[in-house]
């Protein structure tokens, strides 16, 4: 008996496969994370993330313009300060590296891309945690919220279209929304890091931001074995006013991306993080993978799982390839 069903008919030519493709990656779906380092005049390579740099102010503006010209939908900025303290004061300082960078990029690209800011203290504290510490050395959730509120307003005033609270503090979205609205920034959006796992894949990012971390973040980031907990975090962030939600990391948590996408009524983002990037680059450098095909396959998988937006360090490269 010959097969009565032949699915291969829809795979016969590139044109046929393109015609019936169920999932698409377009430049507008991509968000480029970018690092800017205080006190440097030239980009500083990040050894564990080949091709990624800590930008100077000038190189940041140039790279932002290139990303926008390629059609990248958004830019997520992280700051690397020269000086750290216990409360991360550089993060709220209008003249701090991240706020100055936001103003620079907004002046460079205007509204042609969505400019996003990492609204968290880990880049600015001398202990590397995402919040201020209490007398016992634990992260003080509610004291941290007050700083996040101040930080979000400073970032909005610097030029951020959206702020990205990534610290996984309980109540962070609601406090930030109230602060933004109270300061007249009702149009500034919140991209909530809703489901952020305590992952081993953040290693290269620690180099990228010169992390001062002592210990770990397991008491506030989500535990990798837990899935139902993600829905609780999602419900809370939506109730508090999140305009978009994120799952981080992406590739090891595609099941969570799908669960969040099936239950969210706002756009869903997923962050293809530093360790995921570094693994592909390392394998490709050894000749073990076809680099270009692998990159696009990983991004397609994240989109297929349900992500509307993907943060990826390959955003400009892929957008250029797709246009």
Nearest to 144 by CA among 181, 110, 170: 170
Percentages (nearest 5) of helix, strand, coil residues in the chain = 45, 15, 40
Q: In whole angstroms, give the CA distance from residue 163 to residue 200.
A: 25
Cα–Cα distance for residue pair 284/147, rounded to 1 Å: 42
- The catalytically annotated residue of 62, 196, 214, 218 is 196
Q: What DSSP string runs through 149-214? A: HHHHHHHHHHT-SEEEE-S--TTHHHHHHHHHHHTT-TT-EEEEEEEEB--GGGHHHHHHTT----
Q: Per the residue annotation, which of 62, 214, 218, 248 is the catalytic one?
A: 248
Helix axes 274-285, 291-304, angle to 10 degrees: 150
CB distance 288 to 233 below 8 Å? no
Q: Are 43 and 208 in contact (CB under 8 A)?
A: no
Residue 15 in 3-state DSSP? helix
Please name the residue that has the structure tokens 């609270």.
Answer: 165
Residue 241 sits at the vertex; the CA angle it makes with 238 and 247, to the nearest 5 degrees, is: 50
C-alpha closest to that of 188 among 216, 219, 154: 154
Catalytic residue status for 196:
yes
62 is catalytic: no
The answer to whether 130 and 169 are in contact (CB under 8 A) is yes
Contacts of 88 (CB under 8 A, 6+ apart): 121, 122, 123, 124, 125, 132, 147
Q: Which residue(s) pair with 202 in the sheet?
A: none
Question: Which helix (H) or strand (E) is 61 found in, with range?
Answer: helix 57-69
Give the residue numbers annotated as catalytic, written as ranges: 196, 248
């Amino acid at each position: 008996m010959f097969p009565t069903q032949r699915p291969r008919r829809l795979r016969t030519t590139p044109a046929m496969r393109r015609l019936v493709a169920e999932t698409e990656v377009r430049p507008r779906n991509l968000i480029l994370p970018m690092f800017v380092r205080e006190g440097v005049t030239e980009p500083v390579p990040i050894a564990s993330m080949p091709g990624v740099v800590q930008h100077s102010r000038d190189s940041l503006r140039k790279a932002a313009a290139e990303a926008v010209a390629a059609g990248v939908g958004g830019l997520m900025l992280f700051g690397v300060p020269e000086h750290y303290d216990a409360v991360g004061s550089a993060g709220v300082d209008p003249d701090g590296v991240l706020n100055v960078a936001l103003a620079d990029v907004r002046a460079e690209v205007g509204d042609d891309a969505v400019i996003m800011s990492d609204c968290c203290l880990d880049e600015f504290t001398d202990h590397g945690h995402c919040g201020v510490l209490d007398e016992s050395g634990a992260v003080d959730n509610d004291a941290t919220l007050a700083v996040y509120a101040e930080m979000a307003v400073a970032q909005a005033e610097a030029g951020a279209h959206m702020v990205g609270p990534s610290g996984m503090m309980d109540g962070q979205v609601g406090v930030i929304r109230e602060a933004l609205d109270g300061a007249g920034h009702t149009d500034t959006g919140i991209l909530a890091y809703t489901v952020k796992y305590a992952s081993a894949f953040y290693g290269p990012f620690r180099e990228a931001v010169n992390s001062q971390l002592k210990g770990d973040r397991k008491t506030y980031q989500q535990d990798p074995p837990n899935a139902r907990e993600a829905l609780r975090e999602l419900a809370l962030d939506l109730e508090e006013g999140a305009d978009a939600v994120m799952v981080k990391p992406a590739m090891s948590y595609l099941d969570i991306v799908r669960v969040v996408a099936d239950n969210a009524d706002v756009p869903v983002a997923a962050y293809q993080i530093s360790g995921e990037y570094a693994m592909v680059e390392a394998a490709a450098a050894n000749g073990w993978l076809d680099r270009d095909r692998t990159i696009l396959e990983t991004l397609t998988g994240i989109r297929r799982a349900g992500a509307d937006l993907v943060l990826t360090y390959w955003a400009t490269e892929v957008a250029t390839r797709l246009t």
